[in-house]
Amino acid sequence: MIAFILRRLIQSVLVMLAVALIAFSMFSFIGDPVNSMLPENASTEERQALREQLGLDQPVTVQFTRFVTGAVQGEFGISYRNKRPVSEMIAERLPATLELVLAAAVFALLLGVPMGIYAALHPRGILSNLLNVISLIGISVPTFVTGILLILVFSVWLNWLPSFGRGETVQIGWWSTGFLTVSGLKSLVLPAVMLGLFQVTLIMRLVRAEMMEVLRSDFVRFARARGLTNRAVNFGHALGNTLMPVITIVGLQLGSMIAFAIITETVFQWPGMGLLFIQAVSFADIPVMSAYLVLVALVFVAINMIVDLLYFAIDPRLSVQA
Amino acid sequence: MTRSTPAWAEGGDPRYLLGTDNQGRDVLSAILYGSRISLAVGFVSVVLAMAIGIVVGLVSGYFGGMVDAFFMRIADVMLSFPTILVALLISGIARGALPREMHDSAALIVLVFAITITTWVQYARTVRSSTMVERSREYVYAAQLVGRRPFAILFSHILPNVMGPVLVIATINLAMAILIEATLSFLGVGMPPTNPSLGTLIRVGNEYLFSGVWWVVIFPSLTLVALVLAVNLLGDWLRDALNPKLR
Amino acid sequence: MTSSNTPLLSVRDLSICFDTRHGPLRAVDGITFDLAPGEILGMVGESGAGKSLTGTAITGLLERPGRIDRGEIRFEGQRIDTLSAEEMRRLRGRRIGAIFQDPLTSLNPLMTVGQQLIQTIRTHLRLDPGAARKRAIDFLAEVGIPAPEARIDQYPHQFSGGMRQRVVIALALCAEPSLVIADEPTTALDVSIQAQILDLLKRMCRDHGAAVILVTHDMGVIAETADRVAVMYSGRVVEIGPVEKVVRDPRHPYTLGLMQSIPRVGSGVQRLTQIDGAMPRLTDLPPGCAFHPRCPRAFAECRATRPAPLPVEGGHVACHLYQGEPA
């Protein structure tokens, strides 16, 4: 078990180094950042001073080492556009994105898993067919169109829910949460639904496919042949084995939801990292972009590890082998 | 009042079937022009990605070794991130490399570039694995024995035999390319409002949403959905038509 | 046959068909047999002959698109093929147990052996958790699991294949059913373990007074274990009778072919005969006797009409060859 964790840790560090290299090499794709940070008429001395301050006069290997050591401490330099430390800007935006993704994931799971189970247990039911058709259409509609439709119906026409921002937030230490106020929760509904809706269809189809597979397996048939109740067979025996692979996919989807939050945050002007990133892309603000990339990669790697560890906790076959 | 509602609604003008926006521009014509750009970006990037993917896949699969390892590690890294993030990053870097005043005029090229770089990997993966299978077939040995050069073997013998799955991926990817283009334009890093695609139209129309001017955003959105659905259905049909086993 | 007046199980003219896009396919066609309490009936035939389906139908676990379209199944005098799903569920495990082919996949990997046993016991018997656990340990001991007090809390993957099949037998018998349907219980096991498991199955069923329907394609297994044997071909029972009788003196040409294809020590036969051709597919069953295209002794009648089961010594045979003989 410990050997396994160590091996995974080393792998993760290697992946992160590769991502750091990509993030770092982004800097060399664009022209001299000094030009984009200083006004046109800046003097040569000013330019030189800034260059030294940014460490651009050093050899590439030294620059990369500095980049990595900085990144490990959460330092990604100064934003070209805002002239503020990137770490500060990200820390401000991080809670908004994580709360959005969390709410969307909970929404997707609460809706997707029961829908998938239902569809698997009643494969010929009318409701199951309806769910299948809806999920097929759902996959063809771009998420931002979903968001716009949600705003049009629930904000413009019905005027039930706010369509932009986070509402009032409460500060807990450095973390600002929207979970504790009514306006914060109301603001969260539409963005979370938009971000979660695509995942709902995905999770539903996944749970349905997995569960139908498990229901056909020998141990489920044997459980039925022993006269166990449908409840015990479907939920005691089949569901547990269904959720094993679902955990993996949902875990991995959590990472891509952080990326998809970029679109949601743009539609709803949600003040999260995605909005920060999209602004950075349109202004070619490389430090912010590279910080975002490293952070998202870190989340991906972390989620991967957690999913693997969860497997150890759940599956008795693994915990004994190690 | 320069803005008008769709022709059938109250205050509509029969000359403007789907209404006009705040500047009095006809929504239907904007959609027609926008679809043209969306389709063009989609088609061109699919063809380019296919070309790159095929070449890389053939070379990796046929020669193996270091070349193969190099390209496949790149593919692994790219496939481990969501497509939209990769496309955003590449277009961000491309824009960073260009001077600001060129951003609008080069938007089309940047988009095609970003989508191409994001999507070639799938073709390369598929072509590579089929090539590795074909490489050990008798007809390839025969071609080697009569002394044909590797690149001649690759393109005139192996390529025709691995094209089936490539075409299937291409149809699926056409829908995806249209979606990526629309998403990037919607996010404001794609086509500029002066030369709008469907995504740009939706972005611009979205700003009017609160004044109750729903038709400026809804019709381009529906067009986009219809376009993607149509391409997806076409892909399904083509996949069945190309696969004799399914008949 | 040591039968009392009412048989434990009585199957009459049972037919199972599958509704497919191209119309119904009949996989089991009008089979009839009885089973006495405590008796072991072997069911033998090639794959696709319908022997497993018959077992599945008796346990009421036939899944769509398959269904019973004719005939009836009586268990302890009561008709069970028309029972509701819930009534049938109460019967399964409690009165009719089942053993599946592959012990490696028959157990839920995420539950301990004990959890699965206790759950089954408490579903059918009114026992408190402590008593159920005690009963589970007793059963594990009885099927020959060493140190059952410790093993009960282990997961299936911690058991070997043979040990797992012992657990499966314990699971099938832990609520004292009077009939066990064992579908190829040893096919997936090592040859060295097969005999042990068969002996165990035989002993357990004898000790607990359970009758067995032993489904297998292995005539050797039948010869060693069963009291009577039913030979199936293309969804029909072609011959049924006491094992010694059928093995020593097979009547039906198909049974004869089966017997000649089994290697026997000291029989002096140099070559094994094989039956030419293959069992017909359900989609194109020949008219008359389904076996006639492969039958060395077929004549005109065989191609025209389907043979009815004729009573012969201790059993029945469905073959036109014996049409004229006295029973």
The ranges assigned to domains in chain C are 9-262
Which domains, and CATH codes, for chain A? 2-72 (no CATH), 86-317 (1.10.3720.10)
Q: Would you place residue C267 in the very low, low, confident or very high pLDDT band (cuts 50, 70, 90)?
A: low
What whole-number percentage of chain C has pLDDT above 90? 46
**Cβ–Cβ under 8 Å, residues C15 and C69:** yes
Q: What is the ipTM of this complex?
A: 0.87
Choose the most confident range, by mean pLDDT, from A150-154, C48-52, C138-142: C138-142
- The CATH superfamily of C9-262 is P-loop containing nucleotide triphosphate hydrolases (3.40.50.300)
Q: pLDDT digits over C65-83, tens only?
A: 889 989 999 999 899 988 8
At A91-141, the pLDDT tens digits run 888 899 999 999 999 999 999 999 999 988 888 888 888 887 777 777 778
Give the tens place of pLDDT for each residue, A209-268. Answer: 889 889 988 999 999 999 899 899 999 899 988 888 888 778 878 888 888 899 999 888
Mean per-residue pLDDT, C103-107: 87
Burial string for B141-161 (b: 16+ CB within 10 Å, else e) reads eebeeeeeeeeebbeebbbee
* Three-state secondary-structure class, residue B9: coil
Q: To the nearest whole percent, how much of chain A has pLDDT over 90?
A: 14
Please name each of the domains of chain B with its CATH number: 33-241 (1.10.3720.10)
> Which pLDDT band, with edges at 50, 70 and 90, does C3 fall under?
very low
Q: Checking phi first, is residue C176 left (phi over 0); if not, alpha (psi -120 to 50) or beta?
A: left
Residue the block writes with tokens 């006269």: A227
| Digit-coded pLDDT (tens) for C284-296 | 888 888 888 888 8
Q: Which residues of chain B are within 8 Å of residue A155 when distances are taken between CB atoms? A: 210
Cβ contacts of A23 on chain B, cutoff 8 Å: none
Instruction: Flag if A151 and B186 touch (Cβ within 8 Å).
Output: no
Average pLDDT, chain B: 82
DSSP letter assigned to residue C125: S
Cβ within 8 Å of A, C 143-182: 155, 157-158, 168, 171-172, 175
Closest alpha carbon to A120 in A225, A5, A19, A243: A243
C109 and A315 within 8 Å at the Cβ level: the answer is yes
- Residue A322 has a pLDDT of 38
* Residue B75 with chain A: CB contacts under 8 Å: none
Instruction: Find the CB nearest A260 among B82, B92, B214.
Output: B82
Q: Can you give the pTM of this predicted structure?
A: 0.79
The pLDDT confidence band at residue C259, using thresholds 50, 70 and 90, is confident
| pLDDT (0 to 100) of residue A33 | 65
Give the mean model confidence (pLDDT) for residues A66-70.
83
* Residues in contact with A127: Cβ distance below 8 Å, sequence separation at least 6, in sequence order: A118
- Residue of C104, C110, C215 to mutate for A, most A C-beta atoms under 10 A: C110
d(C-alpha A241, C-alpha B95), whole Å: 48
pLDDT in tens, C125-134: 999 999 999 9
Comparing C-alpha atoms, which of C73, C10, C18, C14 is closest to residue C48? C18
CA–CA gap between residue C61 and residue C52 (Å, rounded)? 11
Taking the Cβ of residue C115 and every Cβ of chain A, the question of whether any pair is shorter than 8 Å is answered with no
| Residue A240 CB contacts under 8 Å (≥ 6 apart), including other chains | C108, C110
Q: Residue C4: pLDDT above 60? A: no
